[in-house]
Structure 1
Amino acid sequence: MRYQLRQPRRWYGTLRRATAARAVQGSNSIEGYHASVEDVAAVLDDEEPLDADTETRRAIAGYRDAMTYVLQLASSEPPRTLDASLLLSLHFMMIKHDLAKNPGSWRPGGVWVEDADGRVTYQAPPRDGLEGLVDEMLGQLADGSGVSLVDAAMAHLNLALIHPFSDGNGRMARCVQSFVLARDGLLAPEFLSIEEYLGRNTSDYYGVLTEVAAGSWSPQHSARPWLTFCLTAHYRQAQTVLRRIDEAAALWDRCDALVRRHGLPERSIGVLCDAARGWRIRRSLYVKAVRSSVGDEITDDSATRDLRALSAAGLLDPRGEKRGRTYLATPQLRAAWEEIRNHRPTPVVVDPYELAQLKLPGLG
């Protein structure tokens, strides 16, 4: 993946935007906040989603703020280390829309996790030793193992099991995992994140956490099942991203050909890629999508002219009036994406540990 993404290419901006949206969508869906990738991308761009309700929008916006801060800190020189004050700051950004959940503060008392039937499945450690456990976790993270994927997974596990907050512990644990990956600079964290995978495999995610937690705070238990799960998730998510890299390049080329054929602005290619995938386009989102895909800053008037030209060329279909107007892909544009999807190989679920043993006999 690093070879494919070692330098931004023409389709990099649209792929990165969609990948970030899927990661945020996955993490929030685990907590019951469901929104389309299109609506999540809108919130990430500070736009109103078309379908998501107010509570979901606020949850996504909070997670966006925390992750944006994580990315800013990770790119600083020297990179910011994770400490207790940063944890509390990230939690406030994430949960600030609900003051009843004590955003930016440690939980005031005991806390536990219940299943759908109200049975307690995990009892977190007592409140009186909370700060010490957090400090120990941060100290272990600072020492590190030298393997970023392992350090990030252990930070996720330890924070989730310490359960230091009244609410938002899962989102914070996933955010911290992304922080470690971003801090170590392997790739843009959007492409390394396993949050989308966790959202698609929530039952397995909860299952392995329950297995390792064993009902109550038990730090003597082995974390091997959790590490196996996380490394498998990274492997499988990487396969998904590699497929999307190829598809993004192919879709960009097809939209590029359509733009050239109709004499349209080159800056509209990324927006056409979004529309071909089924996203609804608005003028304000067009301006931001152009910025993220090609780096151009355009005015609202320029966006309006572009959208009219795309509609006149038979690539976008306008719906609604005035501020409520959106644009959908026409059959001609949708056909470009459908052709790519029709050539998508049948997915094969691979266990990387079995694969490693097949390739390296004797590896146990």
Structure 2
Amino acid sequence: MLYQTPVLAAADHSVLAAVDRMREELRYQVRQTPAKWTADLRRTLTAQAIAGSNTIEGYRVDALDVEDLIDGEREVATSEENKAETIAYRHAMTYIQSLHDAPDFRYEKALLNGLHWMLQGHHHPQRLAGQWRRRGVWINEPGDPSSAAYVAPDADRLPALTEELVAWLNEGDLDSHVLVRAAMAHLNLVNIHPWADGNGRMSRSLQTLVIARDGVLAPEFSSVEAWLGKPGNTWEYYKVLRAVGGPEWEPERSTSAWISFNLLAYHQQAQSVIHRIERSNRCWLELAAFAERHGVEERQVTALHDAALAGRVRRARYQRAESLSGQQAVRDIRFLVGAGLLEPVGNTKARYYVPGPAFPAGVLEHARRTVRLTNPYAE
């Protein structure tokens, strides 16, 4: 028996309906936005998801550095261990995103173990990857390694439990909303805890995969990993997992609190993405108008837009984004530096560029404007 999908309360239905409306709005906005802009946004959201999920596990890499690693940069200010974890997660996330329209798709044990290898294979054989664990395991209380917050099922129960989970992923609760099913997939996998390490990231990845297979919206727009990685939310995440999962495998427990927690996450993540799209579009239009007035080439707006939204831009990223030769990209960046629109930071290999003294202040003010996320359960 797995943890069961609960009957939603009236408040849950209301929040879920609001999330659906925002997802429809996002889908419309994405379709109306030039592909160049959405490609940048998707990369940013993917980087934020990777950074957030890794942060929960103690691997701290700034989302901007994750973007640079995704772009192939190696001169990033973090440890080799953090780089390895980030690149591994990037491979798994890329594969998950590619499965959204895979024909004849079915969940299989081999798929779960394959994704686990992508995430953890660089630790093998010191830490077994791509195979179920062979001994008992427990989760420590945060900040107290001597106390067990949760004791996972014995290793000899894993074949049956994972078989049941895979069957449910393919056929179970198909009438439930996909976001609810994705949350339940996460809960069951993390409590089965089938691997020696990497169970949290695998469970969050499975949640994203279930959303991706729905096909309504690209998964990077719906993943809650970035939201979960925020310090206050991470604490609540652990808290609700303990409260719902219990001290050991107890699938008879109510899962209502877990679903409400995830609906809050979906809602606030959608708020963040909508704000990001609106901010990005406004900054692009203002920069395009500025460029036309000041003799800046249209393609160079891409570099300025990155600098405004992300706070920095690398020459290699700009070169790839605009399909330029190395010489042309260097000339463009030199022009923007000479005009005072960008200024360099760092040495040659790790150099990046931030907004310079002549960068339009109004654009930066809008790009840096914060957003206050609302709690739909408090409204």
TM-score, with length taken from structure 2 = 0.86
Name the structure 1 match of 2:18: none
Name the structure 2 match of 1:257: 289
In 1: Cα distance, 2:53 partner to 2:363 partner? 27
The alpha-carbon distance between structure 1 residues 6 and 133, as it changes in their structure 2 partners (threshold 3 A), is same
- 1:120 paired with 2:139, answer no
- 1:145 paired with 2:177, answer no
- 1:88 paired with 2:120, answer no
Name the structure 2 match of 1:214: 246
Name the structure 1 match of 2:158: 130
In 2: Cα distance, 1:93 partner to 1:348 partner? 34
Residue by residue over 1:259-307, the C-alpha shift from the partner in whole angstroms, topping out at 9 and shown as x without a partner, is 323333322323212212354333222223x1xxxxx422222211211
Which amino acid letter does the alignment assign opposite residue 199 of structure 2?
N
**Structure 1: gaps spanning 5 or more residues:** 291-295, 356-364
In 1: Cα distance, 2:159 partner to 2:301 partner? 51
Residue by residue over 1:26-69, the C-alpha shift from the partner in whole angstroms, topping out at 9 and shown as x without a partner, is 11110011111110101122222521211111111110000111
- 1:16 paired with 2:45, answer no
Secondary structure of 1:276's partner? helix
Residue by residue over 1:323-364, the C-alpha shift from the partner in whole angstroms, topping out at 9 and shown as x without a partner, is 34332211332724432157655x1532x3454xxxxxxxxx
1:66, 1:90 within 8 Å by CA — same for their partners in 2?
A: yes
Secondary structure of 1:318's partner? strand
> How large is the RMSD of aligned CA atoms in angstroms?
1.9
Secondary structure of 1:171's partner? helix
Name the structure 2 match of 1:158: 188
In 2: Cα distance, 1:337 partner to 1:206 partner? 38
Secondary structure of 1:11's partner? helix
Secondary structure of 2:249's partner? coil
1:49, 1:57 within 8 Å by CA — same for their partners in 2?
A: no
Name the structure 1 match of 2:197: 167
- 1:72 paired with 2:98, answer yes
Secondary structure of 1:113's partner? strand
Name the structure 2 match of 1:199: 229
2:280, 2:367 within 8 Å by CA — same for their partners in 1?
A: no
Name the structure 2 match of 1:31: 57
1:275 is aligned, of 259, 283, 307, to: 307
The alpha-carbon distance between structure 1 residues 319 and 165, as it changes in their structure 2 partners (threshold 3 A), is same
2:309, 2:367 within 8 Å by CA — same for their partners in 1?
A: no
Which amino acid letter does the alignment assign opposite residue 92 of structure 1?
W
- 1:224 paired with 2:256, answer yes
Which amino acid letter does the alignment assign opposite residue 191 of structure 2?
L
Name the structure 2 match of 1:240: 272
Name the structure 1 match of 2:72: 46
2:300, 2:332 within 8 Å by CA — same for their partners in 1?
A: yes
Name the structure 2 match of 1:266: 298
The alpha-carbon distance between structure 1 residues 282 and 348, as it changes in their structure 2 partners (threshold 3 A), is closer
| More relative contact order, 1 or 2 (CA 8 Å, 6+ apart) | 2
TM-score, with length taken from structure 1 = 0.89
Shift of 1:7: 4.3
Paired residue total: 346
**Percent sequence identity over aligned pairs:** 40
The alpha-carbon distance between structure 1 residues 299 and 140, as it changes in their structure 2 partners (threshold 3 A), is same
- 1:97 paired with 2:122, answer yes
More deviation, 162-171/320-329:
320-329
The alpha-carbon distance between structure 1 residues 236 and 259, as it changes in their structure 2 partners (threshold 3 A), is same
In 2: Cα distance, 1:34 partner to 1:299 partner? 34
Q: Runs of at least 4 residues of structure 1 off by over 3 A? A: 277-280, 319-325, 341-345
The alpha-carbon distance between structure 1 residues 197 and 322, as it changes in their structure 2 partners (threshold 3 A), is closer
